[in-house]
């Protein structure tokens, strides 16, 4: 009986593991020549426990200035590894390390990026239990 329970626990832990995002790290991809003055500003507020808005829409190849504001009482993050791995960044902009941007309470950060491949990308806060409490969302990237 103990052996079956141990096997079940191992399977449950393996199911929770998430694979590494495909492709190069975001820091390795610089955006091509882009007129950053035309970047569309998109503001996302991170609160206890929500993203507002929680569904974002971008067009592949069209520059965006992503403004993240932590209006919550504690640390939150904006985690979208597949989305960030497919994006290119303005050279002067800090890229999302490992597909994750962590913000302390009251902190604001901006990322200038060009969304890459069309598709839908999950978004979540990876702080302990925050996604369970509903801090999730979706990023849609469409072709022109």
Q: pLDDT tens digit string along 22-56?
A: 333 434 366 768 899 999 999 999 999 999 999 99
Alpha helices in the chain (DSSP H): 2-16, 81-86
What does the radius of gyration of the chain's CA atoms come to, in whole angstroms?
A: 17
Q: How many CB atoms lie within 10 A of CB 103?
A: 19
Strand-pair category, 108-114 with 100-103: unpaired
- The Cα–Cα gap between 16 and 7 comes to 15
Whole-number pLDDT of residue 94 = 74
Sorted by where each starts, the structural domains of the chain and their CATH numbers stand as 23-142 (2.60.40.420)
15 has a pLDDT exceeding 60: no
- The conformational region for residue 73 under phi > 0 = left, psi -120 to 50 = alpha, else beta, is alpha
> pTM here?
0.78
- The Cα–Cα gap between 74 and 93 comes to 25
Where does the pLDDT of residue 2 fall: very low under 50, low under 70, confident under 90, or very high at 90 and above? low
Q: How many CB atoms lie within 10 A of CB 136?
A: 17
CB under 8 Å to 3, separation ≥6 — which residues? none
Q: pLDDT tens digit string along 84-131?
A: 999 999 988 877 889 999 999 999 999 999 999 999 999 999 999 999
- The Cα–Cα gap between 25 and 84 comes to 8
């Amino acid at each position: 009986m103990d052996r079956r329970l141990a096997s079940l626990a191992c399977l449950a832990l393996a199911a929770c593991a998430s694979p590494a995002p495909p492709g190069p790290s975001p820091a390795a991809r610089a955006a091509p020549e882009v007129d950053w003055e035309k970047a569309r500003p998109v503001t996302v507020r991170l609160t206890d426990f929500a993203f507002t808005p929680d569904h974002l829409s971008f067009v592949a190849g069209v520059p965006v200035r992503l403004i993240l504001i932590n209006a919550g009482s504690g640390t939150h993050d904006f985690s979208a590894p597949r989305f960030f791995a497919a994006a290119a960044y303005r050279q002067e902009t800090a890229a999302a390390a490992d597909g994750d941007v962590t913000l302390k309470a009251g902190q604001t950060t901006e990322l200038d990026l060009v969304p890459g491949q069309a598709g839908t990308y999950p978004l979540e806060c990876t702080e302990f239990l925050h996604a369970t409490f509903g801090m999730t969302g979706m990023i849609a990237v469409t072709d022109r």
